Chains A and B, each alone.
Chain A
Amino acid sequence: MSQSLDDISRQLKKRHRKSARMKWLSFGALLLAGVFLVLFLADMLIKGLPAFQQAYIQVEVNYSERASELPLAAVEADVRELVSRGYLRLIPNRMEANPDLLGTQRMEWVLADDEVDQYLQGADSSLSAKHKAVVDRLTEAGRAELQFNTGFFTNGDSKLPEMAGLASAAVGSVMLLIVTLAFAFPVGVMTAVYLEEFAPDNRFTRFIDVNINNLAAIPSILFGLLGLAIFINFFGAPRSSALAGGLTLGLMTLPIIIITARAALSSVPDSIRHAAFGVGATRWQTVRDHVLPLSMPGILTGSIIGMAQALGETAPLIIIGMIAFIPDAPTSFTQAATVLPAQIYTWASMPESAYVERTAAGIIVLLSVLITLNATAVYLRKKFEHRW
């Protein structure tokens, strides 16, 4: 039985068609992943961008004797519900600080209530029809407008959506990362140096090796249980502090730093080590003066990636009490602190609709920071990478 050439060429064509199909199919998969990313980012931008604008209205503020007792009395009844309580409650304080204000009346641009903001942004708002009409009138008179929301970057958390900002969470995140880095970087690099440069190939070394791999796979929430048991209950680090959180996340990022640092160390060619040994250097001298400096770019890249991961982590922090109402930025490592992802999590569970856009805006900020960090890592790798 022999096949005709026609048959064979037909078969061949079919096989090649199949091959091309496979190629496009696999390309489609990659494309799909890209599409997911684009859709996701677009969704966050659409939801979050309104939060960067905030409604202000111009009202007549009456610094009367009565207003120093009852701040609500400082503004006319028809706009009382439209002005942010965050502004009103400070009137007595301002009058105390500046006694000249007493008895004066002036037009001021003030922060509007979150429902006014929602209404001006064109979103659903639970304002009554009467209040909507007042806002419309103000807008026509040029007395209500959207301005850039600086408070979002300078305020801490707040129960009033229009006052809520990221500042305290951002400070908390920075402090947490300092602790994480101060712990995980030295320990991680030392572990990597030991395993790559010093360790004998025995059972214990292999055990450590396997163990580091395992550690990388342990769910992050379990690190929270560890942090609670060891750092808070045993060593007495204060609950919800950057210290407890940072150490917990430090243990979690340890495997990443170790693995990347080992890769960086092992990419330094042996000829360097041999040359150093050749002039009489000890192992430690070789590592300290030659191998480590040469692998530093790789180690730093890995550390940045580890820090980026720590910056985005939330689950273990729930367990150690960092999901809380903490509007003041911490000033020491032992004070209660919250972090950016924790802030996002708390806002996500708030009932007011104005928090949805703030959550998305917080996500935009967090993602920008993370992408910057990762881009820096890629840049460093590209710039300092040695090709041996």
Chain B
Amino acid sequence: MQTDQILMTFFAGVILLGALGFYLGRSKAARTRAGGTHMHSQPDQYAWFAVLSSAGPAIIAAALAAIVLGVLETAFPGWLAVASALGLGAIGLFLGLNRIRPELRARDSLERTVKWVLLGAASVSVLTTFGILFSILFEAIRFFQMESFWYFITGTEWSPGDSFLAAAGREGGGDGAMFGALPLFAGTFMITAIAMLVAVPIGVSAAIYMAEYAPPVLRDVAKPVLEVLAGIPTVVYGFFAAITVAPLIVAVAESVGLEASFSNALAPGIVMGIMIIPFISSLSDDVISSVPTAMRQGSLALGTTRNETIRYVVLPAALPGIISATLLGVSRALGETMIVVMAAGMRPNLTANPLEDMTTVTVSIVSALTGDNEFGSAATLSAFALGLVLFVVTLALNFVSVMMIRRFRAKYAVNNL
């Protein structure tokens, strides 16, 4: 029997068991109640009780079997798993129906089960985080067994190319592969810094305008417009940066006598900045709006101008929130992939000149995983090491950001953030 047939059989069986449980449970409960006995719960609740006691064990057993099969390819045949799961379900159905009596608290056990199922759903997100961590961690460890961790963090030369030759069984030329990721970090940092230089002033100013000055009509227009900026797919921004902005920058640089690479760091940086504006403005707007009005009134009552109120009262109060928004923006810029894959360079380059081409962590991850390298080679595994760094850094940034916003929330007793 084929896997899909096995699965179909299983689902058909489970649904059949469930339906059977529902009808039998309900009719038994209804009969008992019609007989004049007072029952603890409603017939429907007994029906669901029967459904859970039959389908529940079957689904749990099948899920366990699927995981075991995932780990050990041929531990036992699939049809055996389905048969035993359905058998378990049938036993459950029988026992469950037997237990339907007036004094059975079906409603309570239903409630408990619902709670557990919901808890299960809630743990999916936790499992996802750990899943990401582990799917990166193991390969990263393999990488660090081959290459030095310290050189990876502090080395200034990234040239995985030679390890390709070595992996291919050919004499690697010269001194072999070098995995010093500092140039990649520098490139990532440079592009992120450019993005933040664009996004923070514009984003925060726009937020100030919207929260403090804008007439409601303008606000109603401006918010969705900014949201459109946030909703544009990154691949689209990447195309824009590569085809329109980069040549523009080269032309401008040339006209003032500077030399710019076509994959300069400036183009993806600026475009990424535009992309991040709405993240910063929207969160900052919320934060500024939730600074208590009493503070503004107090300040204005002292005779300050609006500007002074904003500068000396509102902004300092909102600062933790604004910093938090900025940090979120930074973490987004660090992990952004498509814009840099399409517009930034491929050369690991340790420079302070944004007109040169630089490469980033995410670009290196993509090129390592889609390149001509052999899979087990350090060149490919370096993608996971870089992914690990990215994971840790964005997580840390997010953590700090959450702390900041929590502090703001606690200080001003704001609940809607």
Contact = CB atoms under 8 A, between A and B. Distances in A.
A284 B111 contact: yes
B330 to A, nearest CB: 10
B121 interface: yes
Interface in B379-417: 383-384, 387, 390-391, 394-395, 397-399, 401-402
Given A29-B205, A235-B70, A217 B398 contact: yes
Given A19-B306, A194-B121, A313-B233, A318 B135 contact: no
B337 A374 contact: no
A210 B402 contact: yes
B289 interface: no
B342 A345 contact: yes
A92 interface: no
Contact of A214 (B204, B390, B398): B398
Nearest to A16: B305
Nearest to B303: A12
Q: How large is the interface on B (under 10, 10 to 19, 20 to 34, 35 or more residues)?
A: 35 or more
Interface in B333-375: 334-338, 341-342, 362, 365-366, 369-370
A226 B130 CA distance: 10
A29 B202 contact: yes
A23 interface: yes
B64 interface: no
Interface in A25-82: 25-30, 32-34, 36-37, 40, 43-44, 47
Contacts of B202: 29, 32-33
B63 to A, nearest CB: 12
B323 interface: no
Interface stretch (B145-153, B162-170, B223-231): B223-231
A363 B125 contact: no
B244 A43 contact: yes
Interface stretch (A101-109, A128-136, A270-278, A364-372): A364-372
B135 A215 contact: no
Chain A CB count within 10 A is highest, among B128, B201, B331, B390, for B128
Interface string A293-319: 000000000000000110111110011
B281 A33 contact: yes
Contact of A225 (B66, B224, B311, B384): B384
Nearest to A319: B369
A327 B9 CA distance: 34
Nearest to A223: B132
A26 B209 contact: yes
A373 to B, nearest CB: 9
A254 B128 contact: yes
A212 interface: yes
B194 interface: no
Chain B CB count within 10 A is highest, among A19, A21, A221, A318, for A221
Interface stretch (A137-145, A163-171, A183-191): A183-191
Contacts of A221: 335, 337, 362, 365-366, 387, 390
B394 A218 contact: yes
Interface stretch (B30-38, B88-96, B234-242, B250-258): B234-242
B277 interface: yes
Given A33-B206, A213-B398, A222-B132, A341 B235 contact: yes
A258 interface: yes
Contacts of A220: 335, 337
B210 A219 contact: no
A242 interface: no
A18 B126 contact: no
Contact of A367 (B227, B236, B383): B236
Chain A CB count within 10 A is highest, among B126, B201, B212, B281, for B126
B118 interface: yes
Interface in A143-195: 186-187, 190-191, 193-195
A241 interface: no
Contacts of B233: 311-314, 341, 366, 370
A359 B136 CA distance: 33
B131 A208 contact: no
A313 B387 CA distance: 18
B16 interface: no
B205 A374 contact: no
A184 B172 CA distance: 48
B225 A37 contact: yes
B235 A23 contact: no
A146 B365 CA distance: 43
B144 to A, nearest CB: 17
B232 interface: yes
B315 to A, nearest CB: 11
B110 interface: yes
Contact of B118 (A194, A219, A359): A194
A312 B234 contact: yes
Interface string A217-237: 111111101101110001110
A282 interface: yes
B334 A30 contact: no
A87 interface: no
Interface of B: 66, 70, 107, 110-111, 114-115, 117-119, 121-126, 128-129, 131-132, 134-136, 201-206, 208-210, 212-214, 222, 224-229, 231-236, 238-240, 242-244, 274, 277-278, 281, 305-308, 310-311, 328, 331-332, 334-338, 341-342, 362, 365-366, 369-370, 383-384, 387, 390-391, 394-395, 397-399, 401-402
18 contacts: A18-B307, A23-B213, A26-B209, A30-B209, A33-B274, A33-B281, A37-B229, A190-B122, A211-B125, A215-B129, A219-B334, A222-B132, A230-B131, A308-B231, A319-B369, A345-B338, A348-B238, A348-B342
- 9 tightest A-B CB contacts, nearest first: A219-B335, A312-B233, A29-B205, A229-B135, A190-B121, A19-B307, A194-B118, A26-B209, A315-B337
